[in-house]
Chains A and B, each alone.
Chain A
Amino acid sequence: MLELLNGFVVELRNAGLPVSLTENLDAMEAVQHIPIEDRDAFKYALGATLIKNHAHWRSFETVFEVYFSLRGPEYKIGDGDDETDIDEMWREMQEQQQQEGNGGQGGMDGMTPEEIAQMLMQALMNGDQGMMRAMAKQSVQRFAGMEPGRPVGGTYYLYRTLRNLDLDGMLDKMMEQSREDAPDDLTSLEERLEKEEYADRIEKFKGEIEAEIRRRLVEDRGAEAMAKTLRKPLPEDVEFMHASRDEMTALKKSLQPLTRKLAARLARKRKHGRKGPLDFRNTVRHSLSYGGVPAEPKFKYPRPAKPELMVVADISGSVAAFARFTLMLVYAISGQFSKVRSFVFIDGLDEVTDYFKATEDITEAIHRVNTEADVVWVDGHSDYGHAFEVFWNQYGKDVGPKTTVLLLGDARNNYHASQSWVVKEIQQKARHVYWLNPEPKSYWNTGDSIVGEYGTHTDGVYECRNLRQLEGFVEKLA
């Protein structure tokens, strides 16, 4: 047991989760109070002692599933001989089918895909957990075509299984069915709720299939190897440029608490600044209460001017996500700046400040930026040179000594003219010019990237591949 837990903790640390020694000891003590057969309780006991940040819970879950996937009776992979509940249920289900005259023989292999779909739909409509799990197990066995030692990722098997089941079509069919079943016509509200319920169940079913595939892979390759391939970065370490859709949603979620924290921290930083020079008037005024003796010197509090911010962001395909996050972050803490103006470009440039002013809802504003802003000039491939030229001609006069200009993008200019003199001009007029690049440093200045050329005219080029780096930069800025 001790060894098992130690191995688990090592695996967690490999996944980037901070686990201290005391927490490790706590976990060992905790599991002694938990009936070891109770898998859920075991998981919560470990979670409560080892994981102290909710954003890390998902990573913890993955490691847990992989590491303990083959330990525990009900999670064995059934070959059909095991007398587990699920298998029993499966058999019952088949008998039922046979009685109805559909004639399924010898497991799923003898059934046509239509019959399987029918059964799955039944299971989903009834919301029967056990049945769904059994279905997931059988579907994987039948459709995934898993062979030991085959060097393919789990996603491949998942894709194969899901393609055969056609879950999207399933949702429509289920809706039709429930429309038929209902005594009266469903109101649109009822229909919506019903649909969400089914969608939720299908999502759960997908989860079951994924878990089943993972279990089989672990059996084939061993837990350590699997944990390595499944290791997912923590939300704050996810790279903007390569985030999957799920990771994006997770990122968005962690953005909100982050901006709150950041705003609080910045406000505090401003308040608790150093003391300024002696405030002569105030000191004399207070000296009156001591009979004219300046016993209590008073100091001026420095009021650092809030910077004015101009964000100029490339929103072409490859770096769009990064620009979106930076804009969201900047606007969420816009109270820390005296003025924020934002511009977006691909090969043309457009000001989008008004979109953010018009609504409180940042997501909606971003949506408008993506759909309405006029950013294409010729062909819709990034042209930093032209965009900067437009910026300088139209808005250059607004750049002043209080302005901080942020340039966002990977500086991949498609071999157009760089027009880096614009950046040089801006630097001379503005307080600061920073360049944020979402690409890893090692890619800079390779191919058509000319970040180095622009960079010489800025006050700093920063690598901003993930939320952590972005947060660090913004804190420095305000």
Chain B
Amino acid sequence: MTTDNGAVADTNRFQNVQGVRDDLKEVNYLADDGIAGVAFLADRLGKPILVEGPAGTGKTQLAKSIAEITGSKLIRLQCYEGLDESKALYEWNYKKQLLRIQTERGDNEDWTEMKDDIFSDEFLLTRPLLEAITADEPVVLLIDEVDRVEVETEALLLEILSDYQVSIPELGTITAKQIPLVFLTSNNTRELSEALKRRCLYLHVDYPELDREREIVLAKVPDITESLADQVARIVRSIRQLDLKKAPSVSETLDWARTLMILNIDTIDEQTAKETLNILLKYQTDIAKATKELSVDD
């Protein structure tokens, strides 16, 4: 597919939805139809994906896994409050520029010549966004926790997300050599702006279904027996149905399964479940609630 915004035409990374799914499975990321489908579309349409969902459901891992199966370089921009363009896009290397000016002092160099020189590629420090665009090899760009930046800073991202280009006043516009696959993750602590959402495909990653969670445990925890994995998945589902402050995430499920393996437990009874709950749950009130629920039947 060629894009009409002047960027170099990209080659399709994926053949079809099933292909994406199979590839992801090989790197131990078990995607469901929705995830694979949206990843496939993002490639075809050349659009970024906005991934939302509770913490610890594999949003960041998705980007990493996609990078792995496409053999791309992963460039990551971790967002935080106070992030600005000098950290996200580019910055001029002032010290180097100063040195350059000082070494030339005394010679009768023309100022305009000097100016052209110190505002050139050599003195430009590329930051993640610019780096992703100027890279020659295929790139997966991960903009992590985008909901942490202020609304005004979001605007920084708009140009790069829709046109895959960055405008630098002194240098002009830098257009992408290849269209990177862009993932934005959000924990939904605030509503993102309409402008940003409009430019993205939207993917909501929720806690996995019972079957998928079992598969994930089987794939990620070596030597675990099928029956134990099944039990783990069922108990976790049961706990998630309680009204908790923080439901156990997939990564916590995996931690728990690993703990059980280390403790050489092959079937979970009430006692072990209660004793190891603190790995799944991180609030005292939650643990108390779950303990109560697990011990009282019906």
Contacts and interface: CB of A to CB of B under 8 A. Distances in A.
Interface stretch (B22-30, B36-44, B72-80, B88-96): B36-44
A203 B38 CA distance: 28
Nearest to B189: A260
Contacts of A189: 235, 268-270, 273, 294
Interface stretch (B57-65, B114-122, B200-208): B200-208
Given A193-B234, A261-B190, A33 B50 contact: no
A193 B210 CA distance: 12
Interface in A304-323: none
25 contacts: A20-B198, A22-B198, A26-B45, A29-B45, A33-B40, A34-B17, A38-B17, A41-B17, A41-B33, A44-B33, A47-B202, A48-B37, A48-B38, A48-B41, A48-B202, A53-B197, A54-B53, A54-B188, A54-B204, A189-B270, A189-B273, A196-B237, A197-B210, A257-B189, A264-B189
A187 interface: yes
B285 A360 contact: yes
B38 A187 contact: no
B63 to A, nearest CB: 16
Interface in A172-230: 187-189, 191-193, 196-197, 200
Contacts of B297: 188, 191-192
Nearest to B231: A193
Contacts of A51: 202
Closest 4 interchain pairs by CB?
A188-B297, A52-B197, A44-B37, A48-B201
A261 B201 contact: no
Contacts of B34: 44, 47-48
Nearest to B241: A196
B272 to A, nearest CB: 10
Contacts of A95: none
B235 A54 contact: no
Interface in B153-192: 188-191
A127 to B, nearest CB: 10
A363 interface: yes
A288 interface: no
A335 to B, nearest CB: 15
A23 interface: yes
Interface in A47-104: 47-49, 51-54, 57
Nearest to B34: A44
Classify chain A's interface size: 35 or more
Interface of B: 16-17, 33-34, 37-38, 40-41, 44-45, 47, 49-50, 52-53, 188-191, 194, 197-198, 200-204, 210, 231, 234-235, 237-238, 241, 243, 245, 268-270, 273, 285, 289, 294-295, 297-298
B17 A26 contact: no
B234 A54 contact: no
Contacts of B47: 26
Interface in A257-271: 257, 260-261, 264-265
A34 B20 CA distance: 13
B202 A52 contact: yes
A114 interface: no
A192 B198 contact: no
A238 B150 CA distance: 30
Given A187-B269, A192-B297, A196-B234, A41 B37 contact: yes
A361 interface: yes
A52 B197 CA distance: 6
B257 to A, nearest CB: 16
B37 A45 contact: yes
Contact of B203 (A23, A48, A264): A48
A47 B32 CA distance: 15
Contacts of A191: 297
Interface of A: 20, 22-23, 26, 29-30, 33-35, 38, 40-41, 44-45, 47-49, 51-54, 57, 187-189, 191-193, 196-197, 200, 257, 260-261, 264-265, 359-361, 363
Question: Which DSSP category, helix, strand, loop or mixed, fits chain A's interface?
Answer: helix
Nearest to B197: A52
A197 B234 contact: yes
B273 A261 contact: no
B105 to A, nearest CB: 29
Contacts of A264: 189-190
Name, among B16, B45, B210, the residue most crowded by chain A CB atoms within 10 Å (CB to CB).
B45
A23 B198 contact: yes
Contacts of B295: 188
Contacts of B202: 47-49, 51-53
A40 B33 CA distance: 8
A272 B220 CA distance: 46
Name, among A29, A44, A54, A197, the residue most crowded by chain B CB atoms within 10 Å (CB to CB).
A44
A192 B269 contact: no
B48 to A, nearest CB: 11
A23 B196 CA distance: 12
Nearest to A30: B41
B234 to A, nearest CB: 5
A54 B270 CA distance: 36
A3 to B, nearest CB: 22
B285 A30 contact: no
Name, among A38, A45, A53, A189, the residue most crowded by chain B CB atoms within 10 Å (CB to CB).
A189
Contacts of A200: 210
Name, among A35, A52, A361, the residue most crowded by chain B CB atoms within 10 Å (CB to CB).
A52
A33 B45 contact: yes
Contacts of B37: 34, 40-41, 44-45, 48
A1 B214 CA distance: 39
B280 to A, nearest CB: 15
Given A38-B17, A189-B268, 18 more contacts: A20-B194, A20-B198, A33-B41, A34-B17, A34-B37, A40-B37, A41-B17, A45-B37, A45-B41, A52-B50, A52-B197, A52-B200, A192-B297, A193-B234, A196-B234, A261-B191, A360-B285, A363-B243
Contacts of B40: 33
Nearest to A249: B243
A192 B34 CA distance: 31
Nearest to A49: B201
Contacts of A193: 231, 234-235, 238
A26 to B, nearest CB: 7
A469 B2 CA distance: 46
Name, among B17, B189, B200, B270, the residue most crowded by chain A CB atoms within 10 Å (CB to CB).
B17
B38 A192 contact: no
B3 to A, nearest CB: 11
A196 B201 contact: no
Contact of A261 (B16, B189, B194, B294): B189
